[in-house]
Structure 1
């Protein structure tokens, strides 16, 4: 049975060790600099609200809450959207001390609300909302310190709530206290298709924790996001396993991911994901599988240069995936990034000024070797990687994209499923600066 979003959230919050997190500078004191501020992007500022947001982001629920560092701001945001309550519920953001502090609700009973938060101090210490660590507290529900609660609307179910008129339709209960147990064992799992470059999800967060133990990955700035630092850590782990060269490229294969799971106690689900790849990264003996078939070269003189009616790049990318028989999941987003950079989504775009702009003039009025079309393919490449059954018109969106897909698979070793497209070809990666491919 799947674990609900609110339960994943509260289990994660309770897993954060209590203690001091701020940096203490001699002669200056604590300075609000923490891993939580770095993750939020405003290090060095009061971070109680940042902690709330980070906890949601860690379990891929940041889309449910506003990204703000201000208690009053999130309170008003909640009121406007009908997500404000005078009663506690699990996962709610408590407005405390007239907007000077906030913590997340992790439990409640008939008389008290149990919270855990950042930028605070240990229980029974003086807390003006400017503490130096992460700690749990118990406060009387009727205390003047409690202003109210922002109760986010979870997508799969309503969390335990004390509100008799909960806006999410929940049934009020007298109490709910965290049972003190970790996530059910079946949730200690990673989906193979989730741990690819550019992904952001809980599987990546699990893998990052494992890599931290294996190779010392510091992922505090981007928990749950598979970026360059995580990729480098995967490569380091692959080298630790004895893999070399292209087999230690920072892209998980069946062996490296399952071995990481075996060592760090998580299960890998969906291993058939690796069966769809044309380049098995962990099997040096499978080098023959590194070539891609499916394209058939046409004579360069067969390439046509007639302009076409401009169309939807998204539709063309999806059709190209259908024709090649590959999933859209990674290809379509990557193609859209590259198309925006290469041609601004213009099917009839032509580059008549770079080093490729040479050769005899063609029927479109431009030199033969100019880059053309939505993905700016040069005619020799279009001819060499042409997909059978698609148009010979280089400006045709589908034909242009099909040829480009074949090209990057052969030239850069992109998998058939496109899962390493952003990692292998920078122009298709939204997190890095553009660079021609």
Structure 2
């Protein structure tokens, strides 16, 4: 018996990511030393305090029963306290906070909970692939909002046809942005809230990188805008901020009816997050409120080292204001996929072609700063040599 993938499954994900995986295998087969700057997976562990909390919690026999799908009252309370101190946003832990097995979990399921087939959702292009994949699962039509450098990677709502706006149910935003590393301020979020309220659209804001900002910039929460909880939800993850990617713990906050809809869906899908992981998550949030330390300093140093080395290597890049990514315009004469493959096969350095994130990503690559400074220097050295050799061959 032969099983054929559903049409729904074939519409998920980007084929480019699968291609990059094959390129890595080819590079390894050629004996390359792989420096993987492709996937945004933190290379550092959680703090000792968080790891100790997890160790103790795993040793508690009472933590091995089914958890509740919405998260424990203790975890949801910690989220509310964190939001209050970080953003001066008051949240009701009972009705406005929902625990998630990673923000991708919630982003993948929200459209299933609050839209119907035939609805339209406004999505960023370039954007994180799960935004569009979630719409495929829900049978919802994406309308791609082009994000371009000349507009500071912010959407232009006046360019969206009125007929599309009328049918739109959700608008997905992400600042600081993956893959663009673009940022937004409260003035922009005020316009977002005004637009959403005027057009009866729910804003879905992915704030996963709020703790990874540089040069003194502090990314705001959209929920800081008065009345935003009436038209918006916001996602946050402990994966990047606290180096807990493998723990799979995150949360959605905001509009209480949207929170309850996703809660109802998830109660039919899963039993929630392992209680030991929730206890470690509480410690991570509490520790963050007690200390000035954050992952931002590490990534800011890496950014400075890598950008400086790449400039010396002959590929100048715009320094990002936030996130663990560099969004780099490729040198003239290359496509995103072409240069990504050639660099990986020739040097062993993996980056992601920009068109993996949407058509507007063509002409760029995303580079993840997920290696230590020495490895980033080595990656830049290899890429510089590759570019010089390519130029020599082209001109000889």
Specify if TM > 0.5.
Answer: no
TM range (shorter): under 0.3
* TM-score normalised according to structure 1 size: 0.22
Considering only CA atoms, is the larger Rg found in Structure 1 or Structure 2? 1
| Structure with greater proportional helix content | 2
